[in-house]
Structure 1
Amino acid sequence: MTTSISEPIERRIRAEAETLGFDVCGFASIEQAWPAAARLAEFVEAGRHGEMAWMETTRARRAHPKAMWPGARSAIVLGVNYGPEADPLAILEHRSRGAISVYAQGDDYHELIKKRLKALARWLVAETGCELKVFVDTAPLMEKPLAQSAGLGWQGKHTNLVSRAFGSWLFLGSILTDSVLAPDAAETDHCGACRACLDICPTAAFPAPYQLDARRCISYLTIEHAGPVPPEFRAAMGNRIYGCDDCLAVCPWNKFARASREMALQAREALKAPALADLARLDDAAFRALFAKSPVKRIGRDRFVRNVLYAIGNSADPALAETAQALRDDASDVVRDAAAWAVAQLAKPRDGKERSVSLSPIAPGLR
């Protein structure tokens, strides 16, 4: 797309963003009140943030975009489509395979977005001389309500952003600037009476529409929660070993979304439907090699293998019993606990009664 220097800066920014690979770009004023701060306070005060202590310690900085930078006047909010090519829920039927959330099947999207944001920021400074700051979701800036203000979508009943063009599949990034940009109209809520995202949640993590209790969320439990997962949630995790796409994938607005060719090219075959038996055998070095440049890497081998063992316990596949048994002497407490649970689960027939599982002696090299 070509533009001229006489065109409005907002149009020129959109054109440059498109050139850099962003799928959508919107503008919001940040001079107004910020009702999202009250919702965040209720969330934290109810303890629904679980072990994510950073949500409490950074609460004041999240209270308003200006708390991040008092000189900011406007926000540029950008989105990258990561719509999957196939149904992300199909893998849940293959219980001896691990389900890794769509966004984590390739390189870390934070790095992808950050490079593009910085390139756009450099261009904007050169064009206008403005001051600005760049944010991906690792910073304490509430990007979903900001994206709604900029017209990119609305926060659905599952609390994630929903777009009429991209469904529930948008990565977000933001630039705060001291320039005054013409704001776009805020998007309105189009969820209507639909509650598909609430009803599909395996652990009933939504106490009410637009409210999330992270302590029950499988994404939280598999990624942020460090210790053993509470027993009442383990069976509901199924074979989800990193994140959970259920509430996103079931959204009816996804029918207007399109698959992202870029994300399809980045996705690694080894992470689309990995065998649980192979993943359970990963030591620290092998884990780091497999998940190099992946967001999965940050949770570490022990937490990841813990998740794999819960999936093994839910697999109903007696052939995986020896794999779990081999980890009962693992150096990690959390892995040993998960291995014992998996072995016990595989010893139960479908009627819930104990049955014997034939296990070979543990070879010395597997201890």
Structure 2
Amino acid sequence: MPLSTHFSTQDESKLRAWLGDKAGELGFDGLRITDTQLGVASERLQEWLAEGRHGHMEYMQRHADLRSDPQLLVPGTVRVICVTMNYLPQESDFELEWKRLEDPMQAVVSMYARGRDYHKVLRNRLQEFAKAIEEKIGAFGYRVFTDSAPLMEVELARKAGLGWRGKHTLLLNRESGSTFFLGEILVDVPLPIDQETEEHCGSCTSCIDVCPTRAITAPYQLDARRCISYLTIENPEAIPVEFRRAMGNRVYGCDDCQLICPWNKFAKRTQLPDFAQRHGLGQASLLHLWSWTEAEFEQRHEGSAIRRIGYGRWRRNLAVAMGNALASPIVSYQDKAGIRKALGEGMATADAMVTEHIQWALEHSF
């Protein structure tokens, strides 16, 4: 389909090449284009919601109709420009990440959240990209997104050919594994469409087998209510007792299914300083993070995705991890004494939810 009567096939080809080059200049690592037809993915979303697997993420239910059709979200949309941006910090080392998970005194924060809030980074660059396109082809209708609206991002990116959906439900590609963010520009310009890519998971079930809480209930099936990322971030209530031991020392998110994935041996380090870890979040101990006051939490997480969970959930998550450290046979008596002291002192200013988690940590430490 031509862009207009003024665009020849050669013009379209040149524009497509320019889009890829410009995306690279702006720090994006991949770009593909697709239409708005989501097919059976919309039906699968409805089934997932009907089973209640979204937990407390009511926004998923509220805007399910918009998720099913980008044209309802932004009327006039005919194409979706999908991009990826690698986030793995330069200093990241998967072997060291596994070792930190085995050290109960360490506080493990998901790798994607150790730097600046990706929402802001991608949104600003997508907006800049859209403005550049406007300068190139003239005024057109568009809207940019990055995990900020009811949009089936993974499905659109898969359909556009940026990768395939892994059995853990994340997008995978052969060039950089799964350690990238997704962004989209919904446009009213009929750009040429890219082709889907083949799946390459084969018979591998590593991500399913490694999940601490068995949240991946079957290939391509995720029960968010069991997922540590959901429990530590989206869940506003008490963490169910049945999952507290399995959380280990994970205090914000969980990377296990990505750390174990064979395709992530190709994971690319980001070239952007925005995603470099801040405040030592890649090496921090539980006691160090527990020592932060609410004011310190707000200040140190300014511009971070972590800030949005609030101080209460942050302390809730840390209390569970500290309880697991108290129950660990490899933690020294001296370290356990330090944890008990810190938890006891924290009780004085804790709200009801954090208090319950502190009590659990102290009472179930043997």
Cα deviation 1:307-328 (Å, max 9, x = unaligned): 0010101113413111112223
Q: CA–CA distance in 2 between the matches of 1:69 and 1:303?
A: 34
Return the letter of the residue paired with 2:355: R
Q: Any residues of structure 2 matched to 1:17-96 within 5 Å, and which?
A: 17-30=23-36, 32-84=37-89, 85-87=92-94, 88-96=97-105
Aligned residue for 1:78, secondary structure, equals strand
2:6 corresponds in structure 1 to none
Per residue, is there more helix in 1 or in 2? 2
Return the letter of the residue paired with 1:86: D
Aligned residue for 1:76, secondary structure, equals strand
Return the letter of the residue paired with 1:123: A
Gaps of 5+ in 2: 1-9
Structure 1 position 10 matched with structure 2 position 10: no
Q: Is the 8 A contact 1:162 1:253 kept in 2?
A: yes
Q: CA–CA distance in 2 between the matches of 1:95 and 1:287?
A: 22
Deviation, structure 1 residue 192 = 0.8
Aligned residues: 343
Structure 1 position 329 matched with structure 2 position 348: yes
Cα deviation 1:109-163 (Å, max 9, x = unaligned): 1111011100000011121122111111111111101001111111111011111
1:360 corresponds in structure 2 to none
Q: CA–CA distance in 1 between the matches of 2:345 and 2:16?
A: 59
- Residues 108 and 284 of structure 1, relative CA distance in 2, 3 Å threshold: same
Gaps of 5+ in 1: 349-367
Residue in structure 1 matching 2:113, options 76, 92, 104? 104
Q: Is the 8 A contact 1:328 1:337 kept in 2?
A: no
Structure 1 position 250 matched with structure 2 position 260: yes
Q: Is the 8 A contact 2:12 2:192 kept in 1?
A: no
Deviation, structure 1 residue 6 = 8.6
Return the letter of the residue paired with 1:34: G
Return the letter of the residue paired with 1:326: E
1:141 corresponds in structure 2 to 151
Deviation, structure 1 residue 83 = 2.8
State TM-score, norm by structure 1: 0.90
Q: Is the 8 A contact 2:87 2:275 kept in 1?
A: no
State TM-score, norm by structure 2: 0.90
Q: CA–CA distance in 1 between the matches of 2:165 and 2:296?
A: 38
RMSD: 1.7
1:364 corresponds in structure 2 to none
2:215 corresponds in structure 1 to 205
Q: CA–CA distance in 2 between the matches of 1:307 and 1:33?
A: 36
1:361 corresponds in structure 2 to none
Which stretch of the first structure deviates more once superposed, 268-277 or 204-213?
268-277
* Greater RCO, 1 or 2 (C-alpha within 8 Å, sep 6+): 2
Which stretch of the first structure deviates more once superposed, 261-270 or 250-259?
261-270
Q: CA–CA distance in 2 between the matches of 1:142 and 1:172?
A: 11
Return the letter of the residue paired with 1:22: F
Deviation, structure 1 residue 262 = 2.5
Q: Any residues of structure 2 matched to 1:122-137 within 5 Å, and which?
A: 122-129=131-138, 130-137=140-147
Structure 1 position 308 matched with structure 2 position 314: no
Q: Is the 8 A contact 1:74 1:181 kept in 2?
A: yes
Q: Is the 8 A contact 2:67 2:151 kept in 1?
A: yes
Deviation, structure 1 residue 34 = 2.5
Q: CA–CA distance in 2 between the matches of 1:263 and 1:159?
A: 28
Q: CA–CA distance in 1 between the matches of 2:314 and 2:141?
A: 41
Q: CA–CA distance in 1 between the matches of 2:340 and 2:239?
A: 20
Deviation, structure 1 residue 244 = 0.3
- Residues 38 and 134 of structure 1, relative CA distance in 2, 3 Å threshold: same
